[in-house]
Structure 1
Amino acid sequence: MKVSELNLKAKSLLEAHLSDIELSGEISKITLHSSGHWYFELKDEKSSIACAMFKGANSKLNFKPSIGDSLNLRGFVSLYEQSGRYQFIATSMSKSGFGDLEARFLALKAKLEGEGLFDDKFKKPLPKFPKKVGIITSSTSAALQDMLKLITQKEYFLAKFFVFNALTQGNTAPASLIKALKKADEAGLDLIIIARGGGSREDLFCFNDEDLARAIFSAKTPIISAIGHEIDYVISDFVADFRAPTPSAAIDLCFFSRFSLEQNLDLLQDKLKTLCEAKMTSLKNELFNLEKIFKMQSLPLKIEQNLKQNKELLKSFQNAMKNRLNLEELKLINLQNAFFQHENFFKRSKNLVSIQKNGKITRLNELKSGDKVVLSSQDLSKEAQII
């Protein structure tokens, strides 16, 4: 059998056995398609179902439904063959008497928002590890049992939990909730959770009360609103300091398990150890550098450096003096050599004779026969005539 064949048979069975059904609930989602068909979801406190109302049927109505409307439907159960999705096909629709709930909700929301009751600047921070926690809910509700069970599973041992019983449905519920809230707010708690499980729009509407909203806003203790399911929004969600999508989520989001706390402590210990080791290494390096600087600037080192410098200066001075003496000695030797050369010259010059003519020394090749000259030597001078 093909999938399409199975879906077709399922559709035939559903339409044959569930052909005339009356269904009531609240719209949680809706799409008014451009084709004229309406697609929406109808829910109660436990379940939801996909619904469709085709153009031929909805064109007879004098209103268009919206999210939050409580409706009475008549129709049959079918199956969409292409996806195999189970759905309710509405052939008629009427409001169940609570059609104005959404309008009342939106009007109060706009009023309180305009007054600033939803502003973040008024939100009180939630304590990270609250020691005293109050839970405002019905003491017989399944939501409370789920919360307490989760607290036990988490082994959350840092706080004591106090339950403040209150009505969470009906016309007298707002007054009961306000009374419990005032009592809890005066008990010196660190945190208050206002909780209620899922339900229809009508069931949850007591949390859209204006007096309750103002009581939540005026409370000194941080407040978590945990009403219905994730898709449910009430006024207390907006005015509270924090909104949890469900009562159980309030416990999950705001309280750590024993295991998580121990694991966080281990991580913090490892992080602290790493930071300490890095700091110690940094300080050791800094100390080593300071020690080097101190040694470089210490008096013994400076004296040693000065002595070394003096030795180098003395050695340079000695070398300079040695070089100067060598130079002077060389000059003296040169003078001695020159002296000895002149002495030898004088010794040799005793045998030398100079010829003067007319008082001037004259060379032999310049003399003529008959010239009168003076012959001079180191020992004597005599006149003579050139033959």
Structure 2
Amino acid sequence: MNHTAALVSLATSIPPYQFHQKQILQAAHDLLADRYPQFETLSSLFANTGIRHRYGVKPIEWYLERRGWPERTQAFLEGAESLFVDVARKAIARADLSAGDIDTVVTVCSTGIATPTLEARVAGKLGLRSDVSRVPVFGLGCAGGVSGLSIASRLAQARPGTNVLLVALELCTLAVRHDELTKANIVAASLFGDGAAAIILRAGDGGATRIEATGEKLWPDTLDIMGWSVDPEGFGVIFQRTIPDFVAEHFGPAVIEMLSRMKLSAGDIDRFICHPGGTKVIAALERALSLDQGTLDHEREVIADYGNMSAPTVLFVLERAIVRGLPARSLLTALGPGFTASCVALRHAA
């Protein structure tokens, strides 16, 4: 019996409001140009992201008004609960299961605060059992899709035959700020969107795609690269260093190190499936992994269609890779606050 966790199903979901990149640039210009002299220089960021459109839980007019914690939190709870139910139902249906068959729920989210946590708030609506195990995970940011999959796979492996539901959900748009006139805030406004992905895992029986191994790397003295600041108005984005430069310099050796611990080498990987932080990050990933320019095509397509949704984004990329046919071995990778790299090796039997 194979006790490694298998992917039983995968689903993605987006909120109802679509924003075109030019529409967001115009809104940002109207809000910030008069107050922030550097805006015109930085506005080229919107055209250089490779993003065509993104999605949000609120209509664009909502974001044009200044919002504090209470309004942001209310919008988060409403939007996240709706998206959670939608994506979870899709994944459960694709696995030919009912919600009552789910034994463990892992919820990955870093863009809002909810206590009770999201899976508890939607348990009745979904039909989860009263004895379902709940594992909420906060603070992984963009690494959350891969790190969450790693956590969920170990939970499935620990109890063969049980069904583990992973939901990675982020509402990045709710952190938009009018008061912080910084380059980091303009970068965030040019990149981030909302979305959710769900995966069901089970160990102990057949499955074409299995979690072969997982790995993480935490760099020392890198807390300032990416994260949230917290103040009375809400979350504020932290981008203190040039992430593409860090990726180009440090990510390749980190992947080799993690693969070595998995008893694998870069030559064993047929396909890299990466979290696409933005077009510059994708290009840096290709350099770091010694890939031909343009290799990370699914990543570019996802960033164009949805923007950077933080944690779930890499699972949108995985969905495309599955549809088009996985090779024998893939490596999912993501980078996030910490500063952390996370990897999951997938073994696929055709």
Indicate the TM-score class for this superposition, using the shorter chain for normalisation: under 0.3
Tell me which protein shows more helix as a share of its residues.
1
Q: TM-score, normalised by structure 1?
A: 0.25
Tell which structure's C-alpha radius of gyration is larger.
1
Taking CA–CA contacts closer than 8 Å with sequence separation of 6 or more, which of the two structures ends up with the larger relative contact order?
2
